[in-house]
Structure 1
Amino acid sequence: MNFLPIPRLRPEHPAAFPPATQALDDPNGLLAWGGDLSPERLRAAYRQGIFPWYSQGQPPLWWCPDPRAVFDSAGIRLSSRFRRHLRGSRWQVRADTCFDAVVGACASAPRPGQDGTWILPEMRAAYGRLHRLGHAHSIEVFDGDRLVGGLYGVASGAMFSAESMFSAESGGSKVALAALGHWLAGWGWPLVDAQINNPHLLSLGAYEMPRATYLARLAELAELPGRPGSWSGLPPLAAATLAGVSSG
C-alpha cells in the first residue's frame, strides 16, 4: 500500500492526529498510518473519533469514516420473535469479568467476506492494557458458566465506541448489545458508536450520522465524567429483562 497520501504518526507525539476532515474518501476514512498502540494514543484517538484497523503485515492504520454508524442507546431493536424467546431465557449479562476472553472470541469469530481478523495479537494486548486502566470494557453473556456472546469497546467520557462482538450461540451478540444499550441509557449516555454500518447492524437499529455531526456530539460527550474504572460491580442483568426492548 502507498502511504504517501496520508500523514505518518510519530511515536513521540501520542496525542497528535491530523484533522478528521483530511481523511480520504477512498478508502473511506483512512486518515493516517504509523505510530503505536499505546494507551495514550488509543485514548486520544477515540476522543477524536479515530480508531485503528489494519491487517497482518501492515503498520497501524487510523480511520474516521464518513458517514458514521451509530445507535441511540435507548433505540437498539430486537425482533418480536427474539424477544419472545428471551422471556424464557436463563442467560445472564455481566460486565468486565472476562475481557480477554471476549476479545479472543471476537478475534476468532468467522466474518462473512473477510479473510482473517484485524484483532491481531498486538491489538489484543493494547486493548487489554486499556481495559486494565479502566477505559476499555466488555459486555458478557453467560449461560451458567459458559460464555455465549459478548462485545467490547472503549469509553470516552459518556460515549461508548463498540469495537467487535461475537455469538457462540445464536443471539448472544444481540443480547450483549441490548444490555449495553440498557445500561448506557440508564446512565444518560445517548449514543453507541458502531463505526461502519452493515445490514446486521441496520437490523438492530443502527443508522448513519454525518461525520461532522458525530464529531460534534463526541466532543461534547467525551468531556463528561463518564464511568472510568472497572464495570465488574454492575449487578448481573437477566437477559429476560431485555424482552421489553422495542421491536423494529
Structure 2
Amino acid sequence: MRGLFQKAITVISIVIGLAYATEFNEQDIFQTIEDLPVTCSSALRIKNERTGFFLHSSELNYGSGSGQQIVTAFQGDNDYNSLWSVKEHDGDDAVPCRTGVKVKCGQHLRLEHMNTGRNLHSHSAFQSPVSGRQEVSAFGNGGDGDGGDNFIIECERDDIAGYVYGKTKFFLKHKDTGLYLYTDANSKYTHQNCRNCPIVGYGEISCIRNRAFNGGLWKVHSGFFFPDVEANETPFRDEEEEDY
C-alpha cells in the first residue's frame, strides 16, 4: 500500500505539469473527480457538506477520554493529514477490498489514516471533549485495529447503480454503535476549552444518533484514485493511480 502511495507522488507532478501545459483548470479537475468511482485502496480527502471542513488526524492524542489519537475537522483542502485510505472492514467475515474495486453504497469498510497508519474509530465508552457526544479517534497500529474501526457508507441517494462516486453525498455509520460521523460549526477547539493546545480553531469530530442533522453528510473532495479494475482488466493497470 505505502509503495503504491509513494508511486502516486510521481503521478502528482505529472498531473500538475499537465494542468499548466493544457487547458485543464480547477473546474475541469473537480468535474473529473465527480465522475470517478470511489475504489478500494484509494486515498481520499473527505469533506463535510455543512462546514466545508475535512476529516483530519495527526500524531496527537486526547488528553482525556480514551487517550487515543485525535480526529478533527480541518479547514485546509490540501493537507496530507486529511488523506484516508479505503479498505475492507475488520472481522472474520471480511472480504478483501481489492485495489481498484468499486465501493458500493451500504458497504462495510474501514478508513486508514495515511500518515499514521491508524484507523478511523469510535466507541460508546468515551465522550467527545467539546460537545460530550460519542468520541471519535484514530486507533490501531500499522492499519491493524478492531471492530470499532468498522463503518457503513450510506449514500444519501442511490443514483449510480448502487456505487459510490465522487459526486455521491454519504453518511458514515459506525457499525458497533449505530451512530453517525458528525461535525458542526459550534463544536470547535478554542482557547477556552483547549488552552494552549495545537488544534485551536479545528472542529470536533464526534458521532451522533440522528443522521438527519446536516453535519453528518460527507463527500469526497480530492485524493489519489485507483482506476476501476473491473472496467480496465489489463495487466499493469492494477497499480496505476490517478491524482486529483
Question: In which range does the TM-score fall when normalised by the shorter chain?
Answer: under 0.3
- Which one has a larger percent strand, Structure 1 or Structure 2? 2
- TM-score after normalising by structure 1: 0.27
Larger helix fraction of residues: 1
TM-score (norm 2): 0.28
